[in-house]
Amino acid sequence: MSLKSKLHETKMKFQGKKMAPAFNAIHTFLFAPNETTHNGSHVRGADDLKRTMNTVIMALVPVLIFSIFNAGYQHYAGLNGFPENFSLMEHFLTWENAWIGIIKVLPLLAVSYGVGLLVEFIFAVIKGHEVEEGYLVTGILVPLIVPVDTPLWMLAVAVVFGVVIGKEVFGGTGMNILNPALTIRAFLFFAYPTWMSGDKVWVHQARERSEQILAGATDIDAISGETILGYLAQNKGAAMEAKYTVMDMFWGFVPGSVGETSAFLCLLGGLFLIFSKIASWRIMVSAVIGSLVMGLIFNGVVDQGWIGETSKFYGLMSFDYWKHLIVGGLAFGIVYMATDPVTGAQTNRGKWIYGFLIGFISVMIRVFNPAYPEGVFLAILLMNVFAPTIDHYVIRGNVNRRMKRLKNAVVHPKDSDGKAVELQAETV
């Protein structure tokens, strides 16, 4: 008996039972279901939600692979200094680097998927609906936006919080107001701030070693792992530039959250998502424009001499406007987070406004609040909250157009009973 018919029989056995959604989730993972249309459109397009989510995951796989190597690369660079005459094969794509990634990044991924999907399955069984695919993308986003040394238990707690409070209480996939991955990130940030910010969390072992040194250990070297934004926030622009070139920032050979560093791979992923028509190009383009505009404004303020070199904002404000796009998590956020269709603006015009404000506010938070050198996730969460308002006004525009048309419409004759007036042949 083939696997197909065996699974079909099992499905029939589960039908109507409590555990049916759990079985069906696994079954439909292996086989596209045998469901047929009833009425309405008798044929249907090829895409379903699984395929859509899978496309986003495909766009994230290069980022994940890069992050595995970068975890090791940053660790060893922190210990031994960055190599001179950098060569991709010799210094970056090495087993040593990969091993650090495998023991640090893959467990984050496993915990994120394991815990998140467990919560989804439990809710699906309790509420008796199918397991929806929303978490497939969230699950891979989460490990990519946290610091590499985030303890697994901490991530598990955050995932449970994010999925339950961020999504399930609103009714599950498609109903949530806030991006679940960013809800998880925000929970971590505010619940465990010492693990999530500062100059000691971005590189593997940096925090551990500094604690040991503080405790009096003398036989180990400290690892410094300040991010570029961290340098700038402390007005150490010159030190940063001595350490990292613009190309380092673009390719992503810099410290940061696990998968956010490579603007190049985010660009590739973004192009892929736009080409496959899965993510909104409107949001991506307008977010880029928004961040450039804000960056230009700050550059202008510095050029005018309104901000002196001693100001605490000088480092970030004088940072070339376009470089904001290749440092920190801005590129990653624009491509993979802002484009979440459920929590973003849903109308085409609304998407322009929504994206622009995300870019604009991200750079603003970055510059003005050095306590949050990374403003992207806060900007997106803020705009998630305002997305329905933006849509509301865009849709009102359509409604008002309809009202105006009604006002200008020619009224056809009706008699006092509201019945049509008999039209004489000669009047026509």
Partner 1 sequence: MSKDIRIKKGLNINLVGAAEQTLSKAVLSNVYALNLNDFHGITPKMLVKQGAEIKAGEALFYNKNNEQMLFVSPVSGELVEIERGARRRILTIKILADKEQQQLEHPKLDVDKASSAEIKSYLLKGGCWPFIKQRPYDIIANPDNNPKAIFISGYNTAPLAADIDFALQGKEAEIQAAVTALGRLTPGKVHVSIAKSGNSILAGLNGVELHRVSGPHPAGLVGTQINKIDPINKGETVWTVSPQDLVIIGELLLSGTFNAERVVALVGSSVKDPKYYKTKIGTEVSTFLYGSGVHGENFRVINGDVLTGAKSSQDGYLGFYNNTVTAIPEGDDYEFFGWNKPIFNKVSNTRAMTFSWLMPKKKFDLTTNTNGEHRAFVITGQYEQVFPLDIYPMQLLKACMVKDLDEMEQLGLYEVAPEDFSLTEFICISKQPHQQIIREGLDLLHQEIG
Cα–Cα nearest to 382, from 327, 337, 329, 328: 337
Judged by phi (left if over 0) then psi (alpha if -120 to 50, else beta), residue 328 lies in: left
Residue from 106, 121, 130, 293 touching partner 1 (CB under 8 A): that is 130
Give yes or no for a contact between 179 and 156, defined as CB atoms under 8 angstroms apart: no
Please tell me the number of Cα atoms within 13 Å of 266 on its side-chain side: 29
Give yes or no for a contact between 204 and 150, defined as CB atoms under 8 angstroms apart: no
Does 31 sit near partner 1 (CB under 8 A)?
Answer: yes
Stretch that binds partner 1, among 30-38, 90-98, 155-163, 306-314 (CB under 8 A): 30-38
For partner 1, the binding residues in 313-342 under the rule CB under 8 A are 341-342
Nearer residue to partner 1 within complex by CB, 103 or 420: 420
For partner 1, the binding residues in 262-301 under the rule CB under 8 A are 275-278, 280, 282
DSSP-assigned letters across all residues of 347-392: SHHHHHHHHHHHHHHHHHHHHH-TTSS--HHHHHHHHHHHHHHHHH
Does 395 sit near partner 1 (CB under 8 A)?
Answer: yes
Does 116 sit near partner 1 (CB under 8 A)?
Answer: no
Does 173 sit near partner 1 (CB under 8 A)?
Answer: yes
Does 40 sit near partner 1 (CB under 8 A)?
Answer: yes
Does 36 sit near partner 1 (CB under 8 A)?
Answer: yes
Report the nearest approach of partner 1 to the CB of residue 400 (Å).
9
Stretch that binds partner 1, among 22-30, 70-78, 101-109, 155-163 (CB under 8 A): 22-30
Nearer residue to partner 1 within complex by CB, 24 or 234: 24
What is the total count of residues that contact partner 1 (CB under 8 A)? 75
Stretch that binds partner 1, among 37-45, 224-232, 300-308, 315-323 (CB under 8 A): 37-45
Report the nearest approach of partner 1 to the CB of residue 289 (Å).
18
Nearer residue to partner 1 within complex by CB, 99 or 393: 393
Rounded CA-CA distance 156/55 in Å is: 25
Nearer residue to partner 1 within complex by CB, 116 or 255: 116
What token pair was written down for 60?
């994230």
For partner 1, the binding residues in 342-361 under the rule CB under 8 A are 342, 344, 346-348, 351
Nearer residue to partner 1 within complex by CB, 46 or 242: 46
The beta-strand segments (E) located in 197-317 are none
Site string for partner 1, 50-89 (x = CB under 8 A): xxx-xx--x-------------------------------
* 3-state secondary structure (DSSP) of residue 202: coil
Nearer residue to partner 1 within complex by CB, 80 or 424: 424
Nearer residue to partner 1 within complex by CB, 194 or 424: 424
Residue from 78, 172, 256, 295 touching partner 1 (CB under 8 A): that is 172
Does 413 sit near partner 1 (CB under 8 A)?
Answer: yes
User: ∠ CA 236-293-303 to the nearest 5 degrees?
Assistant: 50
Helix axes 134-144, 152-166, angle to 10 degrees: 140
Question: Backbone phi, then psi, for 388, in 5-degree steps?
Answer: -60, -35
CB atoms within 10 A of CB 8: 14
Rounded CA-CA distance 385/388 in Å is: 7
Nearer residue to partner 1 within complex by CB, 38 or 310: 38
Rounded CA-CA distance 368/248 in Å is: 25
Rounded CA-CA distance 376/362 in Å is: 5
